[in-house]
Structure 1
């Protein structure tokens, strides 16, 4: 008489167990990222994301001021520069800053004063290192070239900063860096 086949016992975990484990891992990963992004640091110092966001808002504000200086010195360029300046103002706002009627912006209240101070120091250093940052450009072509260089330099710095942050801020930095590169291209073409 033949023996009946042995009952089939699955080897390894069941499908439900695997799905439940995967869902739990996703939830845990989401919690970890949220704590990291929300500034889960202790001691009252701002997180890397907050410092990067504050620096980006101040850098964009500095760029708005450059546009304003060129527009004041070269009103004939208003038709070309006004749309680009408006985009840079939107960048300031996207990073949590504000641009008032006097073209000054302040970072949002979420970033601490120390982050703002260090960011403004870096903006001041980059503005003073840029050619033509403190003086009005000599002619329309040099004004456009100066703005193109400022846009490109800022886009390059933002692209470099992408490796330091993640999530929504990284996507925002990438988007604004790409817009800055396009602005630099348009300004360079207009200068030809």
Structure 2
């Protein structure tokens, strides 16, 4: 019995889709609309501060994506899905302050082909636009470094927050690590 001819789809596309899908599934699995039973009186302020910091960090990363897209429009097809997920993360942290907002933000924006965008207040900020390297490869490397650094910080922070927020931070950290990989995949 002859073997079927090899697929003409480049190998990286399947791997990229698998990684992004796995990261999205991890994020979705970690999200819950149920109230956190661990969050007691004292941990609420810890959760609120951690959630606000995570939202600010996601919004800053979103501004960095926007700056790279503005400077290098040729990267739009590659960066648009990653940017949409970062926007969904920012929305999840922002909306998560109200009960049940987290799951809604991810189901609307993190699915494949989602077009999640952050609210105008999330992208309009007094902080200046991030500087973008002149060449595309360096711009992608800078984004990957930002994603990796934020993912590492979130992985450390999740140890200090209660259940639901810890799961959300873990999922978003995993997605950030996958984004960093996808941004640097072409260099190998």
Please, what TM-score do these two structures have when normalized by structure 2?
0.63
CA distance 1:135–1:95, shift in 2 (3 Å): same
CA distance 1:90–1:167, shift in 2 (3 Å): same
Aligned to 1:71: 69
Aligned length: 132
* 2:134 is the counterpart of 1:134: no
Q: Which runs of 5+ in 2 are unaligned?
A: 1-35, 96-116
CA offset at residue 94 of structure 1? 1.0
Q: What does residue range 5-154 of structure 1 map to in structure 2 within 5 Å?
A: 34=37, 37=39, 40-41=41-42, 47-96=45-94, 99-101=118-120, 104=123, 134-154=130-150
Task: Kindly provide the CA deviation profile for residues 46-87 of structure 1, in whole angstroms up to 9, marking residues without a partner as x.
Answer: 610010001001100000000000000000000000000000
Q: Which runs of 5+ in 1 are unaligned?
A: 1-32, 107-119
Does the Cα contact within 8 Å between 2:55 and 2:91 map onto a contact in 1?
A: yes
Aligned to 2:23: none
Secondary structure at the counterpart of residue 137 of structure 1: coil
1:177 counterpart (163, 173, 176): 173
Please, what TM-score do these two structures have when normalized by structure 1?
0.61
